[in-house]
Amino acid sequence: MKKFITITTLALLVFITGCNSARKTESAESKKAIVHFTEPAELLTLDTTQEEDFTSFNAQNQVLEGLYQLNEKDETIPAVAKELPKISEDKQTYTIVLREDAKWSNGDSVTAKDFLYAFKRAVTPETAPSYASLFVSSIKNADAIYQGKMAPEQLGVETPDEHTLVIHLIKPIPYFTSLLTFETFFPINQAFAERQGSSYGTSAKTTLYNGPFVLEGWEQNSDTWTYVKNQNYWDKKNVHVDEIQTTVVKSTSTAVNLYQTDELDRVILDGEFSKQYKNDLDFQNQNDTKMGYLRFNQAQGKLLENQNLRKAIALAIDRDTFVKNVLGDGSIAATGFVPKNFVQNPKTGEDFRKENGVQQTFDKDTAQKAFAQAKEELHKTDITLVYLTKDTDTEKKTAEYLASQIAEVLPGIKFELTTLPSNNLQERYLSGDYDIAFGQWMPDFKDAITFLDMFASTSGLNHVNYKNPTYDRLIQAASDTDAAEEEKRWSDLLQAEQLLLAKDYTIAPIYQQQTALLQKKNISGVVKHSFGSPYSFKYIQVDESK
C-alpha cells in the first residue's frame, strides 16, 4: 500500500460523548453502542481510485467492501462474493459468484457490473490511480488500455449475469485472490458516481456505501466524521457497534491526557509515552509490517540525482539509536525494505529479510567518503535539501532527529524542514517539489513484490523518479517471465532489493514499525492487518459490564 504516511499510522483512540468511556448509551427509544476513535491525519478521499494515504485506506475499508475481506488471521474470506473463486486449470481465469443480498446504502443491489465499472476506471488513463499497476500487471488487456491502445470495454473481465464476474489474467498470480481484498478493487455504483461527477468521493454525501458502515459529517479538510452502522449491509447482524465518532488528533500528549481522564479508550503511543506506560496493565504492543523510510527525489536537476549523495545520507543514519531514542515503541531498525516475518523462501522457508541480509546500515566513514565525492561531483561545498514531513508530533520529531543526526555525520549538509498537513503534503510530494520526503509503506498483499515494484520506472507510484533498466528487468521477470518458477522469481526479488538499496540507494529504510498502545478493557474486536488496509472495525464490541 500503500502512501503518506505517519509513524503513528492510525491513532485509534476511543472516547464517549457525555460519558467517561465507551459504553452502551441509553435513550428512550434504544440502546446504542458508541465509541470514539481518532486519526492522526485528515481523511483525503473516499474515491478508491484516488487514495494514497493511510487514513483514506482505513476509512474506505470500513464503509466499502470488495469481493473478499481479511479476517483476524489475515486469511481471505468471502465478502460480496458468495464463496472463494473457481480458478481454471491454467490458473488464469477466476469465476466469482456474488451474494444476492449485498446492497448499496441506497438499497440498490451490488452487482458484477459495479466491479467491472470500478476496474475500468482503474485502468482508463483519465481516471487511473497510482495503483493502476496492480491491474496492469494482472488482468488481460489492462496494460494496453492504460497506455491508450485499447478501449476500456476490452478489459479482460466479463459479467455473464448480474451476480457473476469472470476475470481473465495474463499469467498465473498466486496472490490474486488476496489482492482482491485491496480497496482499488472495490466496486463503484456507476449511476451514482456519474451523477456526482468530479465531486464523487469528496464528501460523505457524494459517496455511496456497501460496507459495514456509512459515513456522516465529512467533507475534505474536516477534522471530524462518524461511521454509522449500515442498515443495508448484508452482514449487519455481526456489526455490534452503532457509531464510531472520529476526530483528527495529531498530538500524542493530547491523546494521552484524554485517555488518562477516561475520555479515550484507545491511544497509540510514541517514544516517551511508550516508555512511560510499558508496565501499565492497559499497555499492548502489536507486530507490524509497515516500513518507515526516506524517499529521495532523483528527478533530473535535483541534487539527489547524485548517487553518492543518496549513499552518504543513507549510511549516515544510526537506525538503532533512532528507534531507541525517538520511537521507543518496540519498532525495529531497518536493514532492508522488505520487513521481517512477512514472506518466506518458497523452497527453504527462510525469511526474506534474513536471507537477503543487511542492505543499509550506519557507516560513518563510508558515508563521509561518499559525501566528499558527491560535493566534488556537484561542485558544491555546502548542500541544502528540502525535507517534507507531516505535521504530527512523531513525524516532526523524526524529521528533527534525522536531520540533526545526518548533519552531525556530514558537516556541510543542511535541511529545510517543511511541515505540512496531510493534504498539502501529498500535493507537494506528487508535484515533485521536494528533495527528501518521509514515507511509510504497508504491503498491499502478501508478496515481496508489493514493496519493490513501485520503483519500476513505469510504476505510477514511482514518485522518486528512479530509473534503472536492470531493476526494471528484474521486476519484469518476477512479474512475468519467471512468475511460474518460484525459485527464479525469489532470486529476482532478492537481487532487486539489493540493487535498490545497496547500489543505487534509491530510498533509505529507517524502521519496521511495532505499534505500542493503551486500550481500555471494555473495547475489543479492533482487527489489525499485516497487509492491505491497516484495520477493520466491523467486529468492534463494547462490553458494558466492564
**Coil, strand, or helix at residue 273?**
helix
With CA atoms as reference, report the closest residue to 212 among 195, 229, 199.
229
Q: Determine the pLDDT at residue 11.
A: 41
**pTM of the full structure:** 0.79
Phi then psi for 247, rounded to 5 degrees?
-130, 140
**195 CB contacts (<8 Å, ≥6 apart)?**
none
349: left (phi over 0), alpha (psi -120 to 50) or beta: left
What DSSP element (H or E) covers 384?
strand 383-390
Q: Which three cell numbers stand for residue 66?
A: 470488495
CB atoms closer than 10 angstroms to residue 127: 14
Is the sign of the CA dihedral 450, 190, 241, 177 positive or negative?
negative
With CA atoms as reference, report the closest residue to 457 among 438, 470, 443.
470
Instruction: Tell me whether strands 383-390 and 413-420 are parallel, antiparallel or unpaired.
Output: parallel
With CA atoms as reference, report the closest residue to 38 among 272, 205, 219, 223.
223
Give per-residue pLDDT as tens, 381-391. Answer: 999 999 999 98
**Coil, strand, or helix at residue 246?**
strand
Q: Determine the pLDDT at residue 22.
A: 56
What is the pLDDT tens value at each position of the chain, 546 positions in all? Answer: 444 333 333 344 333 333 445 555 544 345 889 888 888 889 999 999 886 788 999 999 999 999 999 999 899 999 999 999 999 999 999 999 999 999 999 999 999 999 999 999 999 999 888 888 899 989 999 999 999 999 999 999 999 999 999 999 998 898 899 999 999 999 999 999 999 999 999 999 999 999 999 999 999 889 899 999 999 999 999 999 999 998 888 888 998 988 888 887 888 888 778 888 988 999 988 888 999 999 999 999 999 999 999 999 999 999 999 999 888 888 999 999 999 999 999 999 999 999 999 999 999 999 999 999 999 999 999 999 999 999 888 889 999 999 999 999 999 999 999 999 887 888 899 899 999 999 999 998 889 999 999 999 988 889 999 999 999 999 999 988 888 888 999 999 999 999 999 999 999 999 999 888 898 888 999 999 989 888 999 999 998 776
With CA atoms as reference, report the closest residue to 293 among 442, 111, 166, 81.
442
Give per-residue pLDDT as tens, 299-354. Answer: 999 999 999 999 999 999 999 999 998 888 889 999 999 999 999 999 999 999 99
Determine the residue type at 413.
I
The DSSP output letter for 334 is -
With CA atoms as reference, report the closest residue to 490 among 278, 345, 390.
345
